[in-house]
Amino acid sequence: MSEHKYQDSVQLEQVIVDGMDISGHWNKMFVPRALTQFDISGLEQLRDIPGAESINNCYQCAKCVGSCPVEYVGSYGPRKIYRKLQIGTNLIEDDYLWLCTTCKNCVRVCPKEVNMGEIIPAAREKAVLGGFIPDEIQEMLQSVSEYGNPMGESARKRAKWTKPIKDSIKNLAKAEEGESVDVLWFVGDFYAYHGRGNDAALAMVNVFNRLGVDFGILGEAEKTDGDSQRLVGESGLFEDLANHNDALFEKFPHKDLVVNDPHAYNAIKKFYPGITGNTRNVTHYTQFLSSRLDELKALMTKSFDKKVTFHDPCYLGRHNDEYNAPRELINSIPGATFIEMPRHKEQSYCCGGGGGGMWLDGLVANYTSERLSTNRVREAVETGAEVLLVCCPYEVSRFEDAVKAVNAEGKLEVMDIVEVINACIPEG
């Protein structure tokens, strides 16, 4: 990051001059601090990219910096990006481009409507085309284009998680065109492949079944929703994924398209239509279940006597304005005491996984004192809650790691809301 280049001293690890070893601090030199030019070519280049024009409008009020989740663990924020662009940084080739999690908190507060939610993917698209891609992201993109999921898992094993289900599940991957269901359930990568995601997926199946929902999954035919690929600038891949998934939505008539991943919700609701021309009746599972709250309450007879708190996912909350559905579900959990974290709803702190952050832990670690998820889990622990509830599949693994990082194992459990709901429904 250029800030370091300018502000830090330079010292060479090994130097021998005239036989004298002056390695390390013996050859420490300070780089001149004075700005000797406002090289605004980086700003000019960025604001010329369609979608990134609003970067030019920053007037340095710094509201964004106070709201930026990365700033709390490092030095970041649109205001600072803007200034770097005026002193010679080319964002397209800079690590700085990849620290943004696209959480949209700055967009919420920016008086000049500098829209990082649009600027960052537009700039990354340029970076991807130019070959400036962090290794971690490249690997993820490679996996998605090869296997349709970012983990690099076999596409054929996408429905393997269903094995423990006793009753059969309607897997439409093998069904004829036109096979209809009430609910087409877009399971998503983490539910399909991640161990803790599998737990939530199985809980979801049971909740569907107990509610008597006629549902089907796309199984091996489903591919990742593509929102994270869009946000890291791989728009071509996103287009392919949107067309692929939407063709499946078209193939199997349904009343509701239920997703568990807010990123999928965001992509299908807001970005698929621009590509496919089709609008789908997509709902996040918290919305779907809260619409069946009375039936659900009748089923939830077992008490869950714990103090719980809840993390608003950026892509359900700030990006799609849904704060109530998960809270309605949480407030219906028998026995549970719900405590909000100080930063909640519109002000929710980002877990660090969005906008490709899920695959950038290595790069981001070079610029931050701790992971965003760690910062968030500390906040959850401070509320005194015993369970941190989530409704984004990225978060279970992120926060469970963070719980270990803050030595809160045994004190704070991370659970998907659907897991708790399922736990409150007695077998029968």
Partner 1 sequence: MSDNPILVIGGGPAGLAAAKGIADLGRKAVLVEKEEYLGGTPIKEKYAALTPDFRDAEEAMGEMIKAVTDDGNVEVITNSTVTSVEGSAGNMKVSVQNGGSGKTIDVSSVIVSTGFDHFDPGEETQVYGYYEYDDVITLTDAEKMLKEHKFVKPSSGEAPESVCFIQCVGSRDRQIGNQWCSKVCCGIASKDAMEIKQILPDAKVFVFYIDLRAYGCWEDDLYWKAQEEYKVNYIKGIVTEITKQGDKLIVKGEDTTMGRPMEIPMDVVVLSTGMEPSEGTKEMAGVFNLPLESHGYIGTIGGPLNTVETSVPGVFVAGASTGPADLEDSVSMGGNAAMKACAFAMKN
Partner 2 sequence: MKILVLLRQVPDLVEDLEVDDSGKALDVSEIKFKLNEYDEHALEEAILLKERGEADEVVALTQEGEGSEKVLYTALAKGATLAKSIAISGEASDSAQFAKLMAEAAKAEGGDMIMVGVQSVDDRDGQLAPIVAASLDMPCISAVTGVKVSGNTASIFKEYSGGIMAEFEADLPAVIGIQAAEQPPRYAPVSKIKQIQDSAEIGSLSASSSNGASSIEVLALAPPPKGEGAKMLDSGKDLLDVLKDLGVA
Residues found near partner 1 in the complex (CB under 8 A): 6, 33-38, 40, 44, 47, 56-57, 59-60, 79, 83, 86-87, 112
Report the partner that residue 240 touches, choosing among partner 1, partner 2, none (CB closer than 5 to 8 A by kind).
partner 2
Kindly state the smallest distance separating residue 54's Cβ from partner 2, in Å.
23
CB of 144 to partner 2, least distance (A): 10
- 152 interface partner picked from partner 2, partner 1, none, CB below 5 to 8 A per type: partner 2
Q: Which stretch binds partner 2 (CB under 8 A): 132-140, 358-366, 399-407, 412-420?
A: 132-140
Residue 386 binding: pick among partner 2, partner 1, none (C-beta 5-8 Å cut-off by kind): none
Task: Name 50's bridge partners.
Answer: none
When asked if residue 321 is in the footprint of partner 2 (CB under 8 A), the reply is no
Element at 17 (helix H, strand E)? strand 16-17
- 283 - beta bridge partners? 258
Judged by CB under 8 A, the residue of 3, 53, 93, 153 near partner 2 is: 153
Among 105, 162, 224, 235, binds partner 2 (CB under 8 A): 235
- Judged by CB under 8 A, the residue of 146, 214, 382, 409 near partner 2 is 146
**Of 176, 179, 8, 1, which is closest to residue 96 (Cα–Cα)?**
1
Strand partners, 215: 183
Per CB under 8 A, 237 contacts partner 2 = yes
Least CB distance to partner 2 at residue 125 (A): 8
**Residue 336 interface partner, choices partner 1, partner 2, none, CB cut-off 5-8 Å depending on type:** none
Q: Which does 40 bind (CB under 5 to 8 A by kind): partner 1, partner 2, none?
A: partner 1
How many CB atoms neighbour CB 302 within 10 A? 15
Tell me how far, at minimum, the Cβ of 414 lies from partner 2, in Å. 22
- Cα–Cα distances (Å) from 374 to 323, 329, 351, 353, in that order, read 23, 25, 8, 12
In terms of Cα–Cα distance, which of 319, 375, 331 is closest to 352? 375
Task: Provide the minimum distance between the beta carbon of 129 and partner 2 in the complex, in angstroms, as a whole number.
Answer: 6
Q: Is 402 in the site for partner 2 (CB under 8 A)?
A: no
Alpha carbon distance 96, 127 (integer Å): 12
CB atoms within 10 A of CB 202: 19
Q: Are the C-beta atoms of residues 97 and 124 closer than 8 Å to each other?
A: yes
Q: How far is the CB of 204 from partner 2 (least distance, A)?
A: 26
Residues comprising the chain, all counted: 428
Of these, 73, 107, 128, 363, which contacts partner 2 (CB under 8 A)?
128
CA distance 24 to 20: 12
Among residues 94, 234, 246, 261, the one that binds partner 2 under rule CB under 8 A? 234
Only one of the segments 71-79, 231-239, 291-299, 381-389 lies at the binding site for partner 2 (rule: CB under 8 A); that segment is 231-239
Task: Tell me how far apart the alpha carbons of residues 216 and 218 are, in angstroms, rounded to a whole number.
Answer: 7
Chosen from partner 1, partner 2, none, partner binding at 239 (C-beta under 5 to 8 Å by type): partner 2
Residue closer to partner 2 (CB basis): 124 or 210: 124
Options 19, 32, 50, 131; binder of partner 2; rule CB under 8 A? 131
Distances (CA, A) of 362 to 31, 41, 101: 27, 29, 14
The position carrying tokens 């270990």 is 404
Single out the residue of 133, 204, 248, 417 in contact with partner 2 (rule: CB under 8 A). Answer: 133
CB 334 within 8 A of CB 35: no
Direct distance between the N- and C-terminal alpha carbons of the chain, in angstroms, rounded to an integer? 58
Residues 238/229, Cβ–Cβ less than 8 Å: yes
* Strand duo 29-30 + 9-10: pairing: antiparallel
Task: Check: CB of residue 315 under 8 Å from CB of residue 343.
Answer: no
Residue 347 CB, nearest approach to partner 1 (Å):
25
User: Using the 8-state DSSP alphabet, how is residue 393 labeled?
Assistant: H
Residues that bind partner 2 (CB under 8 A): 128-129, 131, 133, 135, 138, 141-142, 145-147, 152-154, 156, 234-237, 239-240
